[in-house]
Amino acid sequence: MASLTYDLTLAGLSVGSAAALTGIGLIVTYRATGVLNFAHGAIAMVCAYLLRQFTVEWGRPLWFGAAVTLLVVAPAIGLVLERFVFRPLAVLGGDPAQTLVASLGVFVLLVGGAALLWGQGARADAPTLVAADPWGQLAVAVAIAAAVGAVTRWTRFGRELRAVVDDRSLAVLGGIDADRVAAAGWAFGSFTAGLTGVLLAPYVRLDPYGMPLLVMEVVAVAVAARMRSLPVAVVVALGIGVAQSQLTRLHPSGWAEPLVQAVGANLFVVALLIAALVLPGVGTRDALPRTATARAETPAGAWTVAVILFLIPLGFAGRDLHTSVQVPALGVILLSLVVVTGRGGQISLGQAAYAGLGALFTALLAAGRFPFLPALPELTALLAAVLLVAPLGLLTGWPAISRHGLALALATFAVGVGVSRFVFAQPYATSGLTLSRPAGFAGDRAYYVLELGLLACALTATGLLRRGRTGRALAAMRDHESGASAAGVPVPSLKLTAFVAGAALAALGGGMLAMGVRAFDPAAYDPVRGLLWFAAIVVLGADNTLGALAAAALLVGLDAGARGGVAAALIGVLALLVGRFPAGPYETVRAAVVRLRSGRRGVLTPLGAGVRGRLRAREAAAGAGAEPPRPASGAPGPLEPMEHADQNDGSPGTAQYSGRSRGLFPSLSSPPPPPPPPPPHTLRARRLRVAYGGFTALDGVDVDVLPGRVSAVVGPNGAGKSTLFHCLAGTLRPDQGSVRLGERDVTRLSAHARTRLGVARTFQQLAVFPSLTVAENVRVGAEQGWVADPGATERALRLFGLDGPMRASPAAGLPTGTLRRVELARAFAGSPRVLLLDEPSAGLDTGEVAALARVLRALAADGTALLVVEHDLDLVADLADVVHVMTAGRIVTSGPADQVLRTLDPRDTAVE
């Protein structure tokens, strides 16, 4: 018994050593470059093939092949990837989502290339570099971990590496060559990948698809080590390896047997599921590459061409027609990614799981092997499978609520791998499950016609999800999640909807695919397919229905017509180019945001002649009756629409007033009249306390945002203004204290729920939806806000001078001042009772600031409660009725604006 335990432990250490090597490589690359290299397993596979090529095919000595493969080729792959793929992306801004797609591109390129070069079949004759004795492998893993630890800790390069990891730009400013550090990280990461590949190859299936996946399954080791600690990675890897080995001794009988066996054989997958779904995520950015978010313009006539192309196979016969049957099915699967990724902006690497479940359930239902259900006719089985799989979309939808970017990629990948290993690899799925086509559609031509009908249904459903209220909300969520939330879009439930709809569509496509080939083939829904489909859909324009159909035709056509792997290689090359396409809306808005950040942000106007002059002017105007007194009871004041030179001549310019007084909502002096204003409510915060770790950012803050008043919060940098703002807007939950809207306690309500109760907000850094037009941006606010009023969009567009030709322009590329007005109009369109404005003057020129002040004053005059966090004291003097001065997390002075501003010591609000 003891010897069995020992033997199993040795076997487990062997597996664990290979996993530890993978973990070390992934962590080093991630630390040096910020890239979680999804291609790590593919590099391992290529190196394993290469060593086999040297020794088996060319008859070279093992030491020679190993030296060239591991010391020359593997590092060279890393260096090439760094220089030609990832460094250009870092120069462009290092967006993690772009690097994710690029690393997926490298993955599919290497897998496709290997399939082309060495064929798709598995090889069993890979040479053995280190004997099966686990001590050798363990020694290699531990020695490498120790060497990396020593280099990181005690050498100059290690110090540079840590500096780059801490803050790349600061390190570069300090004279460190970050590119050199990244290149070394890539070279070393590829070396460990190669080593893993050649160590594993003799003991596992060496094939282009299986081995990369096997290696990537152990990514859990790196995630469990928080992509940071090498000792933790090594210990976790060895622990899982040994535990997996020991589990093989368990032989429970009954229902638990297959489950225990599956877990025992796939403990790394279980660890991946736990690491990706339970542990907090390792990457947090939510953007997809610009090609994915680009507004898809379908050329005129493209649909006609597509319809003709899809009808052509009806004229085919034999093998061609049989192959064509796969295209509509794959098209439906890819449409599911159009909904989830294209429109909703959510990374989903697990769509193959839903497609496979659709296929499996259809086959089981049609065969009468599904628990508790009789055998169903094929079409009914297909529809029932779709209904059964749809709610399983929550498996990836739920993690998506709190995860973004890399963390979501890992979670969806984990679900894909988990379903593949624990559901598709079971005897009921692997024992030749056949499936008939529906009665009357048995022949390829008839079945193709049926598929076209189902494809048309899927296109209609996709169209509905991409257009209208839901489509706009999805696009808003994709373009700017917090902005969407602030506009009232219920982001969590919308994400669930997208994933559920995506799962249903994928299941439909999967079922169609299985009926096409008359069998459930688990390999057709392998997780690697999920990666390939995701890369394909991003490459061909994720929010583009026609792109999905073209991708389906391309993937099926190339793989059928040429040697297997061509389609993957092509998609891989295209994915590598994704980051280099000309600037799209994503880039343009990002540039606007950068301009904004370097603009007025942080320039706090010291209290001086300007403010005092404004206060005097206000008093003089009030005395002369030229300016209305501060509204005290919601009495309407004059409001003119903001107008802008660019509205008239189409070119960006400075804001100007029309110079005519047109009443509160001038354009609506004729029917239909605006709805009666909502009852005003005070937003009241009491004893708010927020601590970040041990640092108290808010300490017992009380504030009232009163209807009909403009309240301003001023204070030096770090005073806690933004923290207070976030507590009021619902983006931060205070540790103590309460926020009430009228009588209702809203402390625990989310941002979108508060918006729907009438608390709207704008952002210091622009939060517009670049792929939507100006009018659509505003409409999102009107549709999702407190009062769903059909006339609100037009009123908001007019009020903010956006109702000219500009209304139809995509928001991407518009000047910052215009985008500020778009954001304000969106907030206003929801008919808010309370409007929270975070540095509304940031990025605006003098004329625009003046125009903004007039509009905001008039909104207050109309009964809206306004709170402004602002550095520009001139604007505060111009605008505010009540001023709160914050310092070190407390409100130190509150009172009427003229009194507070007059007594304010400039040192209290020191310039940044």
Ligand X SMILES: Nc1ncnc2c1ncn2[C@@H]1O[C@H](COP(=O)(O)OP(=O)(O)OP(=O)(O)O)[C@@H](O)[C@H]1O
Sites of contact with ligand X (CB under 6 A):
692, 695, 697, 715, 717-723
SS3 711: strand
User: Which is nearer to ligand X, 721 or 798 (by Cβ)?
Assistant: 721
What's the closest the beta carbon of residue 405 comes to ligand X, in angstroms?
18
Largest CA distance in the chain: 101
User: How many Cβ atoms from other residues are within 10 Å of residue 24's Cβ?
Assistant: 28
> Minimum distance from CB of 719 to ligand X (Å)?
4
Cβ neighbours of residue 267 closer than 8 Å, sequence gap 6 or more: 240, 243, 244, 247
Cα separation, 751 vs 764, in Å, equals: 16
Contact 800, 829 (CB under 8 A): no
Minimum distance of ligand X from residue 618's CB (angstroms): 25
Least distance CB 891 / ligand X (angstroms): 12
Q: Whose Cβ is closer to ligand X: residue 630's or residue 721's?
A: 721
Task: Please confirm whether the linkage preceding 672 is cis (ω < 30° from 0).
Answer: yes
Closest to ligand X by CB, 384 or 724 = 724
Distances (CA, A) of 273 to 12, 36, 422: 20, 17, 12
CB neighbourhood size of 878 (10 A):
23
CB 45 within 8 A of CB 106: no
CB 392, CB 330: distance < 8 Å: no
SS3 572: helix
Specify the 3-state DSSP secondary structure of 692. Answer: strand
Burial class (CB in 10 A: 0-12, 13-18, 19+), 659: exposed
Q: Contact at 8 Å (CB) between 495 and 397?
A: yes
Of 6 and 692, nearer to ligand X (C-beta) is 692
Q: CB of 602: closest distance to ligand X in angstroms?
A: 7
Q: Which is nearer to ligand X, 518 or 601 (CB)?
A: 601
Using the minimum distance from each CB to ligand X, give the nearer residue, 705 or 829.
705
Nearer of residues 722 and 771 to ligand X, judged by Cβ: 722
719 vs 880 by CB, closer to ligand X: 719
Q: In angstroms, rounded to a whole number, what is the distance separating the alpha carbons of residues 377 and 438?
A: 7
- Cβ proximity to ligand X: between 20 and 714 the closer is 714
Burial of 735 (0-12, 13-18, 19+ CB in 10 A): middle
- Report yes or no: 600 and 842 within 8 Å, Cβ to Cβ: yes
Rounded to the nearest whole angstrom, what is the least distance from the CB of residue 675 to ligand X in the complex? 35
Q: How far is the CB of 685 from ligand X (least distance, A)?
A: 14
Kindly report the backbone phi and psi dihedral angles of residue 633, in degrees, each rounded to the nearest multiple of 5, phi listed first: -135, 30
Residue 609 C-beta: closest distance to ligand X, Å: 23
Residue 835 Cβ, how far from ligand X at the closest point, in Å? 18
Apex CA 55: angle with CA 50 and CA 60, to 5°?
Answer: 115
Closest to ligand X by CB, 451 or 870: 870
Residue 739, φ and ψ in degrees, nearest 5: -125, 125
Q: What are phi and psi of 9, to 5 degrees?
A: -65, -40
Cβ-based neighbours of 362, under 8 Å, separated by 6 or more:
378, 381, 382, 385, 435, 510, 511, 514, 515
The least distance separating ligand X from the CB of residue 645, rounded to whole angstroms, comes to 31
Q: Is 773 helix (H, G, I), strand (E, B) or coil?
A: strand
Count how many Cα atoms sit within 13 Å of the Cα of residue 847 in the half-sphere of its side chain: 13
Contact 507, 365 (CB under 8 A): no
Which of 342, 501, 470 lies closest to 783, judged by CA?
A: 470
For residues 345 and 543, give the distance between their C-alpha atoms in angstroms, rounded to a whole number.
9
Taking 3-state DSSP, the helix, strand and coil percentages for the chain, each rounded to the nearest 5, stand at 60, 10, 30
For the CB of residue 708, give the shortest distance to ligand X in the complex, in Å: 26
Between 554 and 891, CB nearer to ligand X: 891
Which residue's CB is nearer to ligand X, number 475 or number 697? 697
CB of 908 to ligand X, least distance (A): 12
534 touches 555 (CB < 8 A): no
Task: For ligand X, give the closer residue by CB, 497 or 722.
Answer: 722
Name the minimum Å distance from CB 345 to ligand X: 24
